[in-house]
């Protein structure tokens, strides 16, 4: 099936991730979806992210698929421009804002980064993102390290700064009237199960699935299963 027959889908990545996050998921979806990656790592706030999505989708009714920060960004955009959304897939997503404690920790980390060299993401931090079966997977770990290295310190500071002042979207979710799929990892240590359940509870018509043997990095850890869930839902 060529790109003119496949359904166009727009993908948004998480913090310190680029299109390499999706490579194997796109392979699983290739017969049915025509993927377009929207880069948001250089955006300075959520208004700029909204503008970027608006420009890239050409303001058409879009199928948006977001991961982590990208999922929050897709949700935020959809609430601002509901008429431009056909359907929404949110992977490893929370609709909550940062707590005062989380915001302070982030500010402190940004200050530290501004004064010191960035040595790259640590193995310990990577292990926090992955399910138990994948912490020693050299290919997955290598992809995470490569994305982090290539994007670098300035992008990390920009992304942390740009996305610090995120508000809770929970109270506005009832405004969503289009199809929505939520996907979480059963071993996710970053996004709590309750976060996904709270979105699902606010949107009774949404669908919620959890992926076995996966932590936070579902597109890297379980791309085939992720692709299957998305295609089954879309069909």
| Each residue's pLDDT tens digit, 172-196 | 999 999 999 999 999 999 999 999 9
> What are 221-226's contacts with CB under 8 Å, separation 24+?
221/130, 221/131, 221/133, 221/134, 221/137, 221/140, 221/185, 222/185, 223/24, 223/25, 223/27, 223/28, 224/24, 224/28, 226/25, 226/28, 226/91, 226/183
Locate the DSSP E strands across 45-130.
62-67, 85-91
Whose CA is closest to 25, among 226, 186, 214?
226
Is the pLDDT reported for residue 4 higher than 70? no
pLDDT confidence of residue 165: 86
Mean per-residue pLDDT for 98-119?
93
- CA–CA gap between residue 225 and residue 231 (Å, rounded): 10
Query: Which CATH architecture fits 7-98+160-234?
Result: 3-Layer(aba) Sandwich (3.40)
pLDDT above 70: percentage of residues in the chain: 98
Give the pLDDT band (50/70/90) at residue 58: confident
6-41 pLDDT, tens digit each: 999 999 999 999 999 999 999 999 999 999 999 999
The chain-wide mean pLDDT, for the chain, equals: 95
pLDDT confidence of residue 99: 85
Give me the helix-helix angle, 46-56 and 138-162, nearest 10°. Answer: 120
- CA–CA gap between residue 143 and residue 29 (Å, rounded): 20
Is the pLDDT reported for residue 113 higher than 60? yes
Is the pLDDT reported for residue 94 higher than 60? yes
> What are 161-164's contacts with CB under 8 Å, separation 24+?
161/44, 161/110, 162/43, 162/44, 162/45, 162/46, 162/48, 162/49, 163/15, 163/45, 163/46, 163/69, 163/72, 164/98, 164/103, 164/106, 164/107
Is the pLDDT reported for residue 204 higher than 90? no
- CA–CA gap between residue 62 and residue 54 (Å, rounded): 10
Between 156 and 100, residue with greater pLDDT: 156
Burial (0-12, 13-18, 19+ Cβ within 10 Å), 98: middle
Q: List the structure tokens of 54.
A: 């608006």
Is the pLDDT reported for residue 5 higher than 90? no
Is the pLDDT reported for residue 2 higher than 80? no
């Amino acid at each position: 099936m060529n790109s003119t027959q496949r359904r166009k889908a727009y993908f948004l990545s998480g913090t310190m991730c680029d299109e390499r996050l999706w490579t194997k998921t796109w392979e699983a979806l290739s017969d049915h979806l025509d993927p377009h990656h929207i880069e948001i790592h250089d955006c300075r706030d959520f208004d700029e992210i909204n503008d970027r999505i608006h420009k890239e989708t050409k303001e058409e009714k879009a199928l948006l698929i977001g991961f982590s920060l990208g999922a929050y960004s897709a949700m935020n955009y959809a609430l601002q421009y509901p008429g431009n959304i056909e359907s929404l897939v949110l992977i490893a997503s929370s609709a909550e804002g940062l707590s005062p404690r989380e915001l302070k920790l982030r500010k402190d980390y940004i200050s530290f980064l501004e004064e010191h060299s960035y040595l790259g993401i640590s193995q310990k931090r990577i292990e926090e993102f992955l399910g138990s079966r994948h912490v020693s997977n050299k290919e997955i770990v290598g992809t995470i390290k490569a994305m982090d290295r290539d994007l670098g310190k300035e992008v990390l500071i920009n992304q942390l700064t740009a996305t610090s002042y995120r508000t809770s979207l929970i109270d506005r979710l009832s405004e969503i009237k289009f199809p929505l799929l939520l996907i979480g990892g059963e071993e996710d240590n970053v996004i709590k199960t309750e976060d996904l359940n709270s979105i699902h509870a606010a949107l009774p018509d949404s669908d919620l699935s959890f992926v076995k043997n996966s932590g936070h990095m579902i597109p890297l850890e379980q791309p085939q299963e992720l692709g299957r869930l998305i295609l089954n839902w879309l069909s």
